[in-house]
Amino acid sequence: MQLLDGKFISNKIKEEIREEVEALKKNGERPPHLAAILVGNDGASLTYVGSKVRSCEKIGFDSTLIKLDEDISEDILIANINKLNNDSDIDGFIVQLPLPKHIDEEKILKLVDPAKDVDGFHPYNFGKMAQNLDSFIPATPHGIIELIKRYNIETEGKHVVVIGRSNIVGRPISILLSNKSNPGNSTVTLVHSRTKDISFYTKTADILVVALGIPNFLKSDMIKKDAVVIDVGITRVQDLTKEKGYKIVGDVDFESVKLKSSFITPVPGGVGPMTIAMLLKNTLKARKNQ
C-alpha cells in the first residue's frame, strides 16, 4: 500500500506556481488576484477559505475576502458578484458553498463570469469540460486527476467506479476519467445513494473515487485486492479524546481498506490540499488568459 500524499504534491504544485508568479513580477506584470465571497459563519467554510487566503500569500498572489452576514439578501450577494465580474484587477473569484437556504445557489453560480469562474462550476465551463475542450475544471476533480498523474497510476482500460453524483465531484470526475486523454480512457461506472447493491460494482473496480458524504462508508470487503482508492469525503465526527472534541474522517474506512489497496488517499492530507492547489492553478490560468 502506498499513500497518495496530497499534501506533499500540493506543496510541489504551489512551488511551481510561485515560480511562475515571480516570473510575472520580473516582467513588470501584476500577480494573480483571487477573491472569495463568504456568506455566514459556517465553521468548515471559514477554515477552507482561510486556508485559501494563506496559500495565496505564500505563493505571491493577491487575495480579497468578502465576508457577508448569514441573513443578507440575495440582491446584495448579486451586487457583490457583479462588482467582482467588472473589476479588471480580479482574475478569478469563488462564492464559497454552501450558501444559506434563502439564497438560490444555482442562480448565484450562473452569475459568475465564466472567465473568472476558477471553481469551474458555471454551466459554460462544465459543458466545455464535458466536450474535452479547454476550460476551468472544478478544483477537486482537477486535483484527483493531478494526483493520479503525478503518481503514474495507469487509467487506460481500467474500470473506475465513482460513488456519488454531485456536480462538484462525482459527475465531473466520471467525465474526466472517461475522456480520451491521459489520465483517462477508463471505463467508468457511476453509482449513488439510489444504486442497489453498491458493493456489486465496487468489488469490480480497479480505481474507486468515493464522494458520497457518509463517514467510513467503504469497507475492505467492498473492494478487490490492489484497488486504487481515492477518498473525497471529509466529515467531523465527535471524538472526546481529541482536544477539539472531534476528528476528521473520510468516506473510506481507512484502517481496514489500506491493508487491501495498492494506493489510497489519507483524510485529512489527501484530496483536500489538492483542491486548494488546483484552485490556485486555475487562478493563474485566468491571469494568463487576461
Burial of 115: CB neighbours in 10 Å, binned 0-12, 13-18, 19+: middle
238 in catalytic set: no
Locate the domains of the chain by residue range.
30-113, 139-272
96 in catalytic set: yes
**Which element (helix H / strand E) includes 2?**
strand 2-3
Angstrom distance (rounded) from CA 1 to CA 264: 7
Out of 3.40.50.10860, 3.90.1150.10, 3.40.50.10420, 3.40.50.1980, select the CATH number for domain 30-113: 3.40.50.10860
Angstrom distance (rounded) from CA 161 to CA 67: 38
Q: What is the pLDDT along the chain (290 residues), one digit of tens a residue?
A: 999 999 999 999 999 999 999 999 999 999 999 999 999 987 778 888 888 889 999 999 999 999 999 999 999 999 999 999 999 999 999 999 999 999 999 999 999 999 999 999 999 999 999 999 999 999 999 999 999 999 999 999 999 999 999 999 999 999 999 999 999 999 999 999 999 999 999 999 999 999 999 999 999 999 999 999 999 998 888 888 888 888 889 999 999 999 999 999 999 999 999 999 999 999 999 999 98
Q: Note whether 30-113 and 139-272 share their fold.
A: yes
52 in catalytic set: yes
Q: 14, 91, 96, 260: which one is catalytic?
A: 96
Q: 119, 206, 251, 253: which one is catalytic?
A: 119
Angstrom distance (rounded) from CA 234 to CA 104: 24
Q: 52, 116, 260, 281: which one is catalytic?
A: 52
Check if the beta carbon of residue 172 is closer than 8 Å to that of residue 138: yes
Angstrom distance (rounded) from CA 99 to CA 108: 9
Task: Rounding to the nearest 10 degrees, give the CA dihedral for residues 2, 7, 11, 17.
Answer: 100
- Specify the CATH architecture of the domain 139-272: 3-Layer(aba) Sandwich (3.40)
